[in-house]
Amino acid sequence: MDKEPIQSYCVGNTLSPQVARTAQTRPVYIQMKLEHILGISAGYHDAAATVINSAGDIVYAGHSERYSKRKNDADLHKDMFWEFSRGRHIDHIAYYETPWKKQLRQLYSGQGIEWSRITTGQVLREQLGGYFSSVPVSTHNHHRSHAAAGFQTSPFDRATVVVIDAIGEWDCATIWAAEYDPQGRAQYRLLWRQRYPHSIGLFYSAITERLGLRPLDEEYIVMGMAGWGEPAYVDTMQILLQENLHAGVGHMFLPTAKDADIAASAQAVAEQEIYKLMQRAQAFGFSTNLVYQGGVALNCLANRKLGQYFEKVWIMPCPGDAGSSLGAAAQVYGRKIRFTNAFLGTEISGAYPVDAVIHSLLTDKITGVASGRAEFGPRALGNRSLLADPRGPDIKDRVNAIKQRQQFRPFAPVVLSEAAAEYFDIPPGFVDTSYMQVVGQCRYPTMFPAITHIDGTSRIQTVSNDGSGIRRLLEAWYARTGCPMLLNTSLNIRGEPMVNNRADADRFEQRYGVQVHS
Ligand SMILES: [Fe+2]
């Protein structure tokens, strides 16, 4: 019998108390072989789980909301347990943050302590309902989990890592030096941190709430609204940024201002703050590679200028807290993860229905596809997508009639990578533009009004020659029409998360009368 090599796994780390450039993380290693590591991010919003095997493959990564049908469900859903554990021996659980530190911060911020959620054991009992109770558990740092999710999935061996979110335990923004040691183990050194309550994420979420939208969920709508307004309140918002915005700004903040102007001002201020942080990260001089994580990394409008600060940029397709389930497991695994794409969730089996989708697009211009594994991350990338012919003036209204979303928001294009530069001015720096993470100017906005925003930008998803279903579909579409792109938006019933399984797709068909191919 072949003997598996014994590897060392990081099972925890602590942050030094110093708030200084020299602050270190101290990894703790054990010597043993782990078959499967389960990473969990749950308890606050958008619960998720990831399983990594001993070869560094991500064998499962999924969101609870896709099972419970509750958007941003904070708690793990039991149907996930069977999917992520079937036929697999889970021999370690990694939790993405440190509950007692979070509780201390909640006490400090006047939210009080939840005594039933002081320890990781308490939180996991609540989340796992007694399942996996004999499996050893490790607890990690919130921002380090973000950093590990990004760095260990990136193509880099050395990188500056920037994490910006609303709040972790205490940190709201951190900068890390990340590299692999000669044994291939990931090493993280904390270079800088910004602590609660000073937070770009909390600021943007407070403005989201002021505009009548759901904070920690609908920030992307604020970003879309920004293009329609003028940044008339930048000075006011810069003052606001100095305040503790955890409880929001209240509905009386700028009571007579237009919503679009508030959104444009918030976007302008957020960008200023993000770029200040990028400058600070660049100034450490550790690497010209940037790994960028945290919920704020989903701001694809701000992301367009990251190439001004770093030569190469990587954002993991699920950079928010759900992605930290991967980050927690990655810290225990300790080495580079074999990351190939974001199709890591529930499987709908069968060949990708290229011919059927092409037929529907040529006949009706709009159709759905639910095939292969579900996307990990907030974007539908072709396996749970509503697709449409992007040409012509009427298509946006037709797709909107199904999606019933705000008219001011554009849809995104999915385009063959070799044709992308002909149609879009793609910002420099991104090593991979497959994940709808950055906007670029559309060169032909009048030809493609449905996928062009009021400011002339498009949120681009390129597809390289990777053998994926969406790649074969785009090739076939191009061969038939000469158009190398499709409109791509998430396949979901209004108010629900993305379609997960075939039963969800059937409900979508019945609700909207649009065929969904599998
Ligand atoms: Fe976070």
Confidence class for position 32, pLDDT limits 50, 70, 90: low
Alpha carbon distance 192, 180 (integer Å): 20
What is the token pair recorded at 480?
């038939």
Q: With helix as H, strand as E and coil as C, how does 55-92 read?
A: CCEEEEEEECHHHHCCCCCCCCCHHHHHHHHCCCCEEE
Average pLDDT rounded to a whole number, residues 406-411? 83
251 band by pLDDT with thresholds 50, 70 and 90: confident
Among the residue ranges 176-185, 212-221, 346-355, the one predicted with the least confidence is 212-221
Burial (CB count within 10 angstroms: exposed 0-12, middle 13-18, buried 19+), residue 436: buried
Distance 12 CA to ligand 1 centre (A): 18
List the single range of 43-57, 95-109, 399-413 with lowest mean pLDDT: 399-413
For residue 24, what pLDDT is reported? 41
Average pLDDT of the residues of the chain: 92
Distance 67 CA to ligand 1 centre (A): 22
Separation CA 192–CA 378 (nearest Å): 28
Cα of 168 vs centre of ligand 1, distance in Å, is 5
pLDDT band at 393 (very low <50, low <70, confident <90, very high): confident
Average pLDDT over residues 311-322: 98
Cα 17 to averaged position of ligand 1 atoms, centre (Å) = 20
| Residue pLDDT, tens place only, 355-367 | 999 999 999 999 9
Distance 408 CA to ligand 1 centre (A): 28
CA of 158 to the centre of ligand 1 (A): 22
Does residue 202 surpass a pLDDT of 60? Answer: yes
Report, as an integer, the average pLDDT of 491-501: 95
Q: How far is the CA of 433 from the centre of ligand 1 (A)?
A: 23
Distance 260 CA to ligand 1 centre (A): 27
How many angstroms does the Cα of residue 176 sit away from the middle of ligand 1?
Answer: 15
User: How confident is the model over 169-191, as pLDDT tens digits?
Assistant: 999 999 999 999 999 999 999 99
Residue 170's identity, in one-letter code, is W
User: Residue 289 corresponds to which amino acid?
Assistant: N
Confidence of residue 21 (pLDDT cuts 50, 70, 90): very low
Statement: residue 7 has pLDDT above 70 = no
What single letter denotes the amino acid at residue 343?
F
The CB density around residue 9, as the number of other CB atoms within 10 Å, is 24
Is the pLDDT reported for residue 5 higher than 80?
no
pTM for this structure?
0.93
150 C-alpha vs ligand 1 centroid, how far in Å? 12
Q: How much is the pLDDT for 292?
A: 98
Give me ligand 1 centre to Cα 146, in Å. Answer: 7
Q: Which residue, 102, 175, 106, 177, is CA-closest to 139? A: 102
Confidence bin at 254 (pLDDT 50/70/90): very high
Per-residue pLDDT, 29: 52
296 CA to middle of ligand 1, Å? Answer: 9
> In percent, how much of the chain has pLDDT > 70?
94
Find the 20 Cα to ligand 1 centroid distance in Å.
21
Mean local confidence (pLDDT), 311-316: 98
Cα-to-centroid distance, 172 and ligand 1 (Å)? 8
